[in-house]
């Protein structure tokens, strides 16, 4: 059973919006691309986990903790029968190699050693679990989810699961997981309550309202729509209400302090879409605060 669903992080959503509306530096674009790729890999992992029968485990996805000022993120935790399975999921693609415990991509670029990352997460989650009275064991795994991944000089480490081992791994997991205990439920609830909603270390670049291109862009290829909501690039067709709703959510994500008003959204959408459609979307999908000219909208709970 999934206790905490995986959703796109605020960092990823913000990067995606900024990438569409301003020119990012190359390293920022690459970082954004890595976030996108990482998220896709995690969804692929979720799909794999969904093969396990639902009542055998509790799943907590995308967790962030701060333990004595040490922040760490966890891609996935499965809890079953007094065992916490810790997963670090990597969506690496292409050839990689290891030399003297250091990891490199085939272009000789050094990458963070994912085994060390896993070990750090294991140490910290063990400390946290001990604090909340967990008495079982922790089993950490490094999952390489992309079938196009290859590692030269791969160590013989049972904690590393390569793409060709994934199906067998899930079968073994299914065999080992015998069900959820009341202690598992208690620990999961406690872990959920300690999770931070946002990472304190986000790499979002600074931006201002003026800097960003206004308008509504295609959700598929990020090309800005011109007069109609038909994408000139990929042919995607969108309805007014959906496109405007998306843009309002994005406006609020990038400028949470700004009031959502018809005028503000009309400007945000590039001043080309009818104010009436914007007003209607606001009235139907958001909550109005106040009356008359000073009224504004907030997101419904």
Residues that bind Zn ion (CB under 5 A): 218, 220-221, 223, 231, 233-234, 236
* Cβ-based nearer residue to Zn ion, 116 or 220: 220
Which residues fall within 8 angstroms of residue 239, CB to CB, at 6 or more apart?
229
| Residue 267 beta carbon to Zn ion: minimum distance, rounded to whole angstroms | 23
Q: Which CB atom, from 31 or from 240, has the smaller least distance to Zn ion?
A: 240
Minimum CB separation from Zn ion for residue 299, in Å? Answer: 26
- Closest separation between CB of residue 230 and Zn ion, Å? 9
Rounded (5°) CA angle 245-251-253: 105
Q: Which is nearer to Zn ion, 211 or 233 (CB)?
A: 233
CB of 266 to Zn ion, least distance (A): 22
Shortest separation between residue 217's beta carbon and Zn ion, angstroms: 8
Rank residues 154 and 234 by Cβ distance to Zn ion and give the closer one. Answer: 234
Q: Which of 293, 289, 250 is nearest to 269 (CA)?
A: 250
Closer residue to Zn ion in complex, CB, 82/223: 223
List Cβ neighbours of 70 (8 Å cut-off, separation of 6 or more). 124
Nearer to Zn ion, 122 or 238 (CB): 238
Instruction: In angstroms, give the least distance from the CB of 225 to Zn ion.
Output: 9
Q: How far is the CB of 273 from Zn ion (least distance, A)?
A: 17
3-state secondary structure the chain: CEEECCCCCHHHHHHHHHHHHCCCCHHHHHHHHHHHHHHHHHHHHHHHHCCCCHHHCEEEEEEEEEECCEEEEEEEEEEECCEEEEEEEECCCEEEEEECCEEEECCCCEECCHHHHHHHHHHHHHHHHHHCCCCCEEEEEEEECCCCEEEECCCCCCCEECHHHHHHHHHHHHHHCCCCCHHHHHHHHHHHHHCCCCCCCCCCCCCCCCCCCCCCECCCCCCECCCCCECCCCCCECCHHHHHHHHHHHHHHHCCCCCECHHHHHHHCCCCCCHHHHHHHHHHHEEEECCHHHCEEEECC
**C-beta of 22: minimal distance to Zn ion in Å?**
19
* Cβ-based nearer residue to Zn ion, 132 or 230: 230
Q: Which is nearer to Zn ion, 105 or 223 (CB)?
A: 223
């Amino acid at each position: 059973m999934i206790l905490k669903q995986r959703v796109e992080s605020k960092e990823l959503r913000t990067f995606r919006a900024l990438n569409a509306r301003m020119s990012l530096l190359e390293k920022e674009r690459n970082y954004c691309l890595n976030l996108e790729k990482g998220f896709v890999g995690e969804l692929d992992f979720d799909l794999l986990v969904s093969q396990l029968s639902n009542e055998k485990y509790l799943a907590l996805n995308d967790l962030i903790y701060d333990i004595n000022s040490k922040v760490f993120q966890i891609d996935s935790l499965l809890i079953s029968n007094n065992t916490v399975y810790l997963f670090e999921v990597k969506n690496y693609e292409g050839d990689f190699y290891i030399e003297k415990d250091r990891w490199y991509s085939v272009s000789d670029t050094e990458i963070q050693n994912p085994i060390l990352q896993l070990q750090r997460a294991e140490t910290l989650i063990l400390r946290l679990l001990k604090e909340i009275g967990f008495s079982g064991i922790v089993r950490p795994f490094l999952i390489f989810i992309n079938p196009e991944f290859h590692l030269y000089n791969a160590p013989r480490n049972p904690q590393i699961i390569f793409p060709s081992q994934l199906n067998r791994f899930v079968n073994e997991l299914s065999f080992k997981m015998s069900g959820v205990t009341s202690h598992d439920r208690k620990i999961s609830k406690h872990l959920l309550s300690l999770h931070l909603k946002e990472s304190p270390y986000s790499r979002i670049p600074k931006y201002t309202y003026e800097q960003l291109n206004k308008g509504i862009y295609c959700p598929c290829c990020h090309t800005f729509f011109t007069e109609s909501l038909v994408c000139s690039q990929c042919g995607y067709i969108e309805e007014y209400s959906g496109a405007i709703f998306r843009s309002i959510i994005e406006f609020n994500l990038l400028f949470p302090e700004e009031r959502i008003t018809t005028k503000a959204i009309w400007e945000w959408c590039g001043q080309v879409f009818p104010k009436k459609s914007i007003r209607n979307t606001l009235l139907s999908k958001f909550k109005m605060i106040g009356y008359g000219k000073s009224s504004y909208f907030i997101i419904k709970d």
